[in-house]
Amino acid sequence: MDLVEKVRSKLRLNQEEGEALYDLDLYTLGELADEIRTEKFGKKSYFNINRHINPTNVCADVCKFCAYSATRKNPNQYTLSHEQILEIATNSIEKGAKELHIVSAHNPKDGVDWYMGAFRKIRAKFPDVHIKSMTAAEVDFITREYGHSYDEVLDMMIENGVDSMPGGGAEIFDEGVREYLCKGKVTSEQWLDIHEKWHNRGKESNATMLFGHIETRAHRIDHMIRLRNLQDRTGGFNAFIPLVYQKENNYMKNCNFPSGQEVLKTYAIARIMLDNIPNIKAYWATSTINLALIAQEFGANDLDGTIEKEAIQSAAGAASANGMELDDFIDLIKNSGFTPVERDSLYNELKVYA
């Protein structure tokens, strides 16, 4: 049975077969991925009305790809108070945001209650808003910095109002690549362990993969298979997000920055390989909105959201600092031939813009 036939027969692919998918031409890959996407979702493209909040850029870890974090010598350090975070949340929720996506650098000056207290105050004032926060890298940082176990931190998150976890910190799971990219940060095994513990608490999370830097195609497939294996055990990932590496203002040199075709192939291959993760998100903040819209025909069924404000990707060159207006977002999806569907953070449909 050849590779195309095996995909159409819905047979699971191994590492070697996953790598071979990249050798197929772009249109064949797109057709295969679109068949799977269409069977699951038709022409629906999901988005949510959300606000990204990045409360501090002071970071104890040093990742070569990061343009956001500030060292102790950086004159542009900032850390928001609970009152400032709550003010941002209030303004965004009054404008219609249903999700707060809160991701920070790893600030050793703040303490556990800076994190948990912010969630607690948001939850007390806005009991219905969905709080998506605390990457596995942040969870690991808190355990290292303050002596808590993963279980203790995850339980604190739930007690203080966190609903789901974002997928940040995964980068590329290959240990050799990780040694170069983000030595000292959460390891691949630790990242997977934290998400497994979260899922075992009945909670959902996203999974990400940062690609387009020094990794190989084989590393990407290995990353997807490790996620697929965990999803077989827990079923807790609701979306996979291939994040396109942003190359400005960081320490990475001589990267193999991907072409548009390589990005689209990676979206399509994610749809094929990850047969047990329902949603593939073309996160427009890293792929550009134009490529994200095209990715709808290459397996992606979600574009993330309006974002409103974003600091991490935009620091490295992404055009996402001020988010996107809802009407513009809806019009772009419609004009690309798809049906915009507003969802909540766990992919329940809220409104179809026919």
Position 7 in a domain: no
Q: What is the pLDDT of residue 246?
A: 67
As given in the structure block, the two tokens for residue 347 are 């992919």
> What strand order describes the sheet that includes 279-280?
205-211, 237-244, 279-280
128, 99 contact by CB (below 8 A): no
Residues contacting residue 3 through CB under 8 Å, at least 6 positions apart:
13, 17, 20, 21, 24
Position 177 in a domain: yes
The band of 329, judged by pLDDT with boundaries at 50, 70 and 90, is: confident
Residue 84: which of 67, 69, 104, 66 has the closest Cα? Answer: 104
170, 205 contact by CB (below 8 A): no
Task: Return d(Cα 154, Cα 134) in angstroms, integer.
Answer: 9
Q: What is the pLDDT of residue 219?
A: 97
The band of 28, judged by pLDDT with boundaries at 50, 70 and 90, is: very high
Backbone angles phi, psi at 58, to 5 degrees: -85, 125
194, 136 contact by CB (below 8 A): yes
Mean of the per-residue pLDDT values of the chain: 88
Partners of 46 in the β-ladder: 302, 341
Number of other residues whose CB lies within 10 A of the CB of residue 183: 12
- Name residue, tokens 């950086």: 74
Task: Return d(Cα 343, Cα 209) in angstroms, integer.
Answer: 23
Q: What is the pLDDT of residue 314?
A: 40
pLDDT single digits (tens) 135-177? 999 999 999 989 999 999 999 999 999 999 999 989 999 999 9
Task: Return d(Cα 215, Cα 4) in angstroms, integer.
Answer: 25
Q: What is the pLDDT of residue 75?
A: 62
Partners of 53 in the β-ladder: 102
Number of other residues whose CB lies within 10 A of the CB of residue 280: 27
162, 129 contact by CB (below 8 A): no
Position 70 in a domain: yes
Is residue 67 scored above 60 in pLDDT? no
Task: Return d(Cα 8, Cα 117) in angstroms, integer.
Answer: 49
Position 5 in a domain: no
pLDDT single digits (tens) 196-213? 999 999 999 999 999 988
293, 50 contact by CB (below 8 A): no
Average pLDDT in the 187-201 region? 97
Q: What is the pLDDT of residue 287?
A: 74
Range of the domain at 162: 12-352
As given in the structure block, the two tokens for residue 16 are 């070697």
Which of the 8 DSSP states describes residue 68? S
Name the domain count of the chain. Answer: 1
Task: Return d(Cα 217, Cα 284) in angstroms, integer.
Answer: 22
Task: Return d(Cα 316, Cα 323) in angstroms, integer.
Answer: 15
Task: Return d(Cα 65, Cα 21) in angstroms, integer.
Answer: 27
Position 3 in a domain: no
- In this structure, of 187-201, 260-274, 322-336, the range with the lowest mean pLDDT score is 322-336
Position 6 in a domain: no
Task: Return d(Cα 145, Cα 109) in angstroms, integer.
Answer: 10
Check the CA dihedral 280-249-104-199 and report its sign: positive
Q: What is the pLDDT of residue 71?
A: 62
pLDDT single digits (tens) 239-252? 999 998 866 555 56
Average pLDDT in the 81-94 region? 94
pLDDT single digits (tens) 280-301? 999 888 778 889 999 999 999 9
As given in the structure block, the two tokens for residue 237 are 């990932």
CATH number at residue 331: 3.20.20.70
Is residue 320 scored above 60 in pLDDT? no
State whether residue 231 is helix, strand or coil. helix
Task: Return d(Cα 212, Cα 277) in angstroms, integer.
Answer: 22
Q: How many CA atoms lie within 13 A of 99 on its CB side?
A: 24
Position 285 in a domain: yes
- In this structure, of 115-129, 145-159, 176-190, 340-354, the range with the lowest mean pLDDT score is 176-190
Q: What is the pLDDT of residue 249?
A: 52
272, 21 contact by CB (below 8 A): yes
Position 4 in a domain: no
